[in-house]
């Protein structure tokens, strides 16, 4: 197990370098890093040259990348062009997004798995068909439509929630945005759990559990659920990374100043340091989440042993 | 009589129609007795067992008639919760493929211990100790260490021993073993069968041994019930059947056993295929394949005639059982 973790951590290095290099190149080479600095106008050549020298943009790209990565590992993500430290932005943005992600994951786990188990056990019955249709609708309607619609109905028309989240973004105000963010994944978790449950329900070991005279509840929770959740856990784990970075749409709708919002602003204003910094952290989150999933896999299924 | 199955009927409702899987099966098992139920795949022997255990998939399965009298009460009239308490505790089942029948993600110790925590309300620690003792009893070496392991870490024979241990856990009065050795290597088969027979004698349990292996039957069974198309076609003490079968199907089965003195000759096989359970032939279900079939076999369904020439209760569902017995 220990050796496996070390190997996996080593494998992360090339992936991390590749991913960050790619985003670095896209922003620094294809874009114009100083475009956003002089307001609406283009910078005059003299200022541009001065700025380029100041930010080290006159050096070759590989050298810029190395300098940047070197700084990152000392905890310095650079300064956004408005003078704010990128780490400072992160310190305000990540807690908000993490809260949002936690809520979304909770929705996926609780609602998704419960619905999946219920429908999986009652395959072909009205509940099953109803939920299945609902998930299909959720999957096919884009998030910004669901989000705006719920915001309009619950927030503006009926006044149940605040239509826009306040700057501290406390948990209770993030419930609806969390649900919106989770919606599509929630539908997938439901369907995945349903299929898995329905398949394993007919398995020999479930029949054995029944023949042992175990109560139905125990048969389901202990014998059926554990094996059925293996694929679901994989999906949810991979989804963590996705939710953290993919909240751009949801955060825009509900005016949440999280990671997605900052990246969006960064891209809009060609704020290189912000974009590269945030994406670098997200890449790390992705990698770690995937490692955790793989390790969790071995916990859930003892047939998988990493050596 | 420990278990008395009377006129049991089971159907399966599928998209293509209704399959008549069990059509009036009656058999009984006494304490300490071994009844072997023989038959080809699809003869209804496993379905009968599942109906007795109460683990039939309902739907598509449905018990449409009959009684299962176990220790004086009809199990089919019990509520599910009462039924559940009988399962595992008073009657237990051993399945064919131990690898797929054991939960792959729960340690064998927990799967064995569960019997004690659920049925006896024991603490986890005591249940674990019982599990180790059970594994010892079915002669799994190093039980104390291996109790933490998972099914895939055991060999086929050892896994089947764990299944047996699980069935024995609460010392049930009746064990139903559904082809317990079919999935095992031939050398291991004998060991497992011996162990099962030995434990059965020790606990004086009734044993229903479902099999299609006539070799296994001769050594361990007291009585044999031969099933065909969801009916019992012959029922007799084991020695009577081997001496002289009273039904042409039983004769066909016996003749299909490869024998050393017939080396080099073509193996005998019953011609044709078992009937489609959605469309069982009228009259005697075996008549299309029967070498002795006559007109009456095509129209009249034979009852289970009492074979009067045998002293112990013996029955044959053949109009011409006398002829078969002497022929």
Answer whether residue A177 is part of any domain. Answer: yes
Other C-beta atoms closer than 10 Å to the C-beta of B290 total 22
Global confidence as pTM: 0.81
Q: Please choose, from the candidates A205, A200, A214, A211, the residue with its C-alpha nearest in 3D space to the C-alpha of residue B49.
A: A211
- What's the order of all strands across the beta sheet hosting B315-316? B91-94, B174-178, B206-211, B34-38, B223-228, B231-237, B315-316, B305-306
Answer whether residue A81 is part of any domain. Answer: no
Main-chain dihedrals φ then ψ at residue B5, nearest 5 degrees: -90, 130
CA A85 – CA A106 distance, rounded (Å):
32
Determine the pLDDT at residue A77: 78
CATH number at residue A172: 1.10.3720.10
What does the block give as tokens for A32? Answer: 């114009």
What does the block give as tokens for B58? Answer: 């309902």
Q: Please choose, from the candidates B218, B174, B245, B195, the residue with its C-alpha nearest in 3D space to the C-alpha of residue B27.
A: B174
Residues in B touching A297 (Cβ below 8 Å): none
Determine the pLDDT at residue A197: 93
Determine the pLDDT at residue A30: 64
Answer whether residue A280 is part of any domain. Answer: yes
CA B238 – CA A256 distance, rounded (Å):
80
Indicate the DSSP class of residue A79.
B
pLDDT class for B273, splitting at 50, 70, 90? confident
Q: What is the mean pLDDT of residues B32-37?
A: 92
What does the block give as tokens for B297? Answer: 């076999």
Q: Do B105 and A300 touch (CB under 8 A)?
A: yes
Give kind and range of the element (H or E) at residue A63. Answer: helix A61-73
Q: How far is CA A255 from CA A102, A143, A165, A181, A258, in A?
A: 18, 15, 6, 13, 9
Answer whether residue A147 is part of any domain. Answer: yes
Q: Do A202 and B101 touch (CB under 8 A)?
A: no
CA distance B157 to chain A (A): 17
Residues in B touching A301 (Cβ below 8 Å): 104-105
Better-predicted residue by pLDDT, B174 or A68: B174
What does the block give as tokens for B214? Answer: 């006539």
What does the block give as tokens for B216? Answer: 């296994």
Q: Do B150 and A302 touch (CB under 8 A)?
A: yes
Answer whether residue A76 is part of any domain. Answer: no
The domain total for chain A is 1
Q: Do B87 and A300 touch (CB under 8 A)?
A: no
Q: What is the mean pLDDT of residues B127-136?
A: 92
Query: Taking 80 as the threshold, does the pLDDT of residue B252 lie above it?
Result: yes
Q: Is A229 helix (H, G, I), strand (E, B) or coil?
A: helix
Radius of gyration of the CA atoms of chain B, in A: 21
Q: Pairing relation of β-strands B3-14 and B61-70?
A: antiparallel
Q: Do B103 and A227 touch (CB under 8 A)?
A: yes
Answer whether residue A8 is part of any domain. Answer: no
Could you report the per-residue pLDDT of B83-95, keeping only the tens digit for each?
999 998 999 999 9
Answer whether residue A208 is part of any domain. Answer: yes
Of A123-127, B57-61, B260-264, B276-280, minimum mean pLDDT range? B260-264
What is the 3 state secondary structure string of B1-60?
CCEEEEEEEEEEEECCEEEEEEEEEEEEECCCCEEEEECCCCCCHHHHHHHHHCCCCCCC
B166: contact with A, CB 8 A cutoff: yes
Domain range enclosing A92: 86-300
Alpha helix positions (H), chain B: 45-53, 80-86, 98-101, 108-120, 124-137, 143-146, 156-168, 186-203, 214-220, 238-243, 248-255, 295-299, 321-326
Handedness of CA B43, B46, B52, B56 (dihedral sign): negative
Q: Which residue has the tokens 């329905």?
A: A198
CA B309 – CA B313 distance, rounded (Å):
10
CA B84 – CA B31 distance, rounded (Å):
22
| Interface residues from chain A to B (CB-CB < 8 Å) | 202-205, 207-215, 218, 222-223, 226-227, 300-303
Query: Taking 90 as the threshold, does the pLDDT of residue B292 lie above it?
Result: no
Locate the domains of chain B by residue range. 246-327
- pLDDT < 70 stretches in chain A: 29-42, 81-82, 169, 246, 306-307
CA B54 – CA A91 distance, rounded (Å):
60
Determine the pLDDT at residue A34: 65
The secondary structure of B225-239 as a DSSP string is EEEETTEEEEEEEHH
Query: Taking 80 as the threshold, does the pLDDT of residue B161 lie above it?
Result: yes
Determine the pLDDT at residue A174: 80
Query: Taking 90 as the threshold, does the pLDDT of residue B216 lie above it?
Result: no
By Cβ distance, the residue of B57, B93, B103 closest to A205 is: B103
């Amino acid at each position: 197990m220990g050796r496996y973790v070390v190997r996996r951590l080593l494998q992360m290095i090339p992936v991390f370098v590749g991913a960050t290099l790619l985003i670095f190149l896209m922003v620094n080479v294809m874009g114009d890093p100083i475009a956003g600095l002089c307001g609406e106008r283009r910078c005059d050549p003299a200022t541009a040259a001065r700025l380029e020298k100041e930010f080290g943009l006159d050096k070759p790209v590989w050298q810029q990348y190395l300098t940047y990565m070197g700084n990152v590992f000392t905890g310095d993500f650079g300064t956004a062009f408005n003078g704010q430290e990128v780490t400072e932005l992160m310190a305000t943005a990540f807690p908000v997004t993490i809260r949002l992600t936690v809520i979304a994951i909770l929705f996926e786990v609780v609602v998704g798995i419960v619905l999946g188990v219920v429908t999986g056990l009652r395959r072909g019955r009205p509940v099953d068909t109803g939920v299945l249709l609902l998930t299909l609708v959720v999957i096919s309607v884009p998030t910004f439509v669901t989000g705006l619609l719920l915001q309009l109905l619950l927030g503006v028309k009926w006044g149940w929630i605040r239509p826009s989240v306040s700057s501290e973004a406390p948990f209770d105000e993030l419930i609806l945005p969390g649900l919106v963010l989770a919606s599509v994944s929630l539908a997938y978790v439901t369907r995945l759990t349903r299929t898995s449950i329905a398949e394993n329900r007919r398995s020999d070991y479930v029949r054995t559990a029944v023949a042992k005279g175990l109560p139905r509840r125990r048969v389901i929770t202990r014998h059926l659920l554990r094996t059925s959740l293996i694929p679901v856990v994989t999906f949810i784990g991979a989804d963590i990374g996705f939710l953290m970075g993919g909240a751009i749409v949801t955060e825009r709708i509900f005016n949440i100043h999280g990671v997605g919002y900052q990246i969006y602003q960064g891209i809009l204003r060609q704020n290189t340091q912000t974009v590269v910094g945030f994406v670098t952290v997200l890449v790390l989150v992705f990698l770690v989440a995937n490692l955790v999933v793989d390790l969790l896999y071995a916990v859930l299924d003892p047939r998988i042993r990493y050596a | 009589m420990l278990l008395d199955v009377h006129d049991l009927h089971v159907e399966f409702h599928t998209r293509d129609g209704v399959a008549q899987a069990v059509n009036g099966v009656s058999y009984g098992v006494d304490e300490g007795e071994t009844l072997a139920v023989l038959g080809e795949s699809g003869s209804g022997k496993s379905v009968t067992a599942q109906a007795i255990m109460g683990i039939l998939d309902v739907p598509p399965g449905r018990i449409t008639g009959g009684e299962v009298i176990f220790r004086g009460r009809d199990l089919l009239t019990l509520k599910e919760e009462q039924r559940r308490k009988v399962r595992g505790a008073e009657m237990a089942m051993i399945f064919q493929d131990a690898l797929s029948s054991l939960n792959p993600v729960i340690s064998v110790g927990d799967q064995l211990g569960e019997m004690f925590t659920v049925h006896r309300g024991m603490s986890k620690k005591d249940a674990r100790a019982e599990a180790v003792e059970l594994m010892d009893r079915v002669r799994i070496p190093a039980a104390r260490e291996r109790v933490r392991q998972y099914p895939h870490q055991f060999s086929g024979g050892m896994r089947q021993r764990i299944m047996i241990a699980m069935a024995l856990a609460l010392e049930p009065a009746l064990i139903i073993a559904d082809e317990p050795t079919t999935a095992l290597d031939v050398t291991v088969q004998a060991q497992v069968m011996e162990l099962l027979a030995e434990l059965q004698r020790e606990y004086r349990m009734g044993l229903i041994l479902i099999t299609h292996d006539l070799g296994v039957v001769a050594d361990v069974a007291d009585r044999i019930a031969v099933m065909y198309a969801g009916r019992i076609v012959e029922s007799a003490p084991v020695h009577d059947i081997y001496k002289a079968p009273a039904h042409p199907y039983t004769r066909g089965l016996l003749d299909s056993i490869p024998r050393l003195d017939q080396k080099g000759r073509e193996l005998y096989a019953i011609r044709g295929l078992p009937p489609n359970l959605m469309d069982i032939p009228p009259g005697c279900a075996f008549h299309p394949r029967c070498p002795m079939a006559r007109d009456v076999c095509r129209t009249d369904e034979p009852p289970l005639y009492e074979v009067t020439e045998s002293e112990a209760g013996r029955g044959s569902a053949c109009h011409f059982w006398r002829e078969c017995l002497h022929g």
